[in-house]
Amino acid sequence: MAAHRDVAGDPAVIRVLVADDQAVVRAGLRMILESESDIEVVAEAVDGLHALDLARDHDPDVVLMDVRMPHLDGVQATRRLVDSGCGARVLILTTYDLDESVYDALRAGAAGFLLKTETPDRLVEGVRIVAAGEALLGAGITRRLVDRFVSGRRPGSKESPALSALTAREQEVLALVAVGMSNAEIAHSLVVGEGTVKTHVARILSKLQLRDRVQVVVFAYEHGVNEPGGSAERI
């Protein structure tokens, strides 16, 4: 989703919905985000159900979603937002990096996650990254998260019918996306143009019915394209 532009056509403003059951956390996030000229906090939700209502009313670009909230947690709220066709990108906030709930939220369609201990600059950067349509894969953390929780959930066979829909080159690109390579890095590795890589990635997402690169990572590990505990150190 592209960030909203005002009626005067000024630079895009990123509209953010903050969902956290702790008032002091919401206030702190608002203060940090609204210190930036290109970010506006349009609403604050006290739980997942409230977040769904406010997302429908305010049409945010990004939802900062606490993973643990009463009435409806961040995982279920994320799943419902994605299933509803809402264009908002969900950025999960969590206290613990190796949290199964975070893994479930990524599988549900979240665009990435941040620890609540991150710096204000990293929070702002994360919001901008997901608002631009990119996935936020923290260095090392996503890899460890997937390694920890994927093993018990993978199907008995590594072969997936969905993979057979991909060309050999698309499967190669899939594996490289899953280890955290950018389009530019993949282009350099395969000695092709970056535009060609973008086309391959778009086709992979379409054929596998995946939302973004986060889901590519999860898919690749769950279907044996990349092995937990392997050499994928770039995520």
For each of the domains in the chain, give its residue range(s) and CATH number, in order of start.
14-136 (3.40.50.2300), 158-222 (1.10.10.10)
Residues 114-130: what's their mean pLDDT? Answer: 91
Residues 171-186: what's their mean pLDDT? Answer: 84
Higher pLDDT, 109 or 42: 42
Residues 63-75: what's their mean pLDDT? Answer: 93
| CA distance linking residue 190 with residue 118, whole number of Å | 34
* DSSP label of 163: G
Cβ neighbours of residue 189 closer than 8 Å, sequence gap 6 or more = 176, 181
Helix, strand, or coil (residue 72): coil
- The residue among 204, 184, 202 whose CA lies nearest residue 193 is 184
Q: Report pLDDT for 155.
A: 46
Helix, strand, or coil (residue 48): helix
Cβ neighbours of residue 96 closer than 8 Å, sequence gap 6 or more = 102
Alpha helices in the chain (DSSP H): 23-33, 48-58, 74-83, 100-108, 120-131, 141-150, 168-178, 183-190, 194-208, 213-222
Total Cβ atoms within 10 A of residue 85: 6
pLDDT band at 234 (very low <50, low <70, confident <90, very high): very low
How far CA 43 is from CA of 55, 101, 172, in Å, comes to 9, 24, 42
- 202-225 pLDDT, tens digit each: 999 999 988 888 788 778 877 777
| Poorest-pLDDT segment among 19-28, 56-65, 226-235 | 226-235
The torsion angle over the Cα atoms of residues 123, 89, 184 and 218, rounded to 10 degrees, is 100
Q: pTM score, two decimals?
A: 0.74
Cβ neighbours of residue 51 closer than 8 Å, sequence gap 6 or more = 17, 19, 45, 63, 65, 72, 77, 81
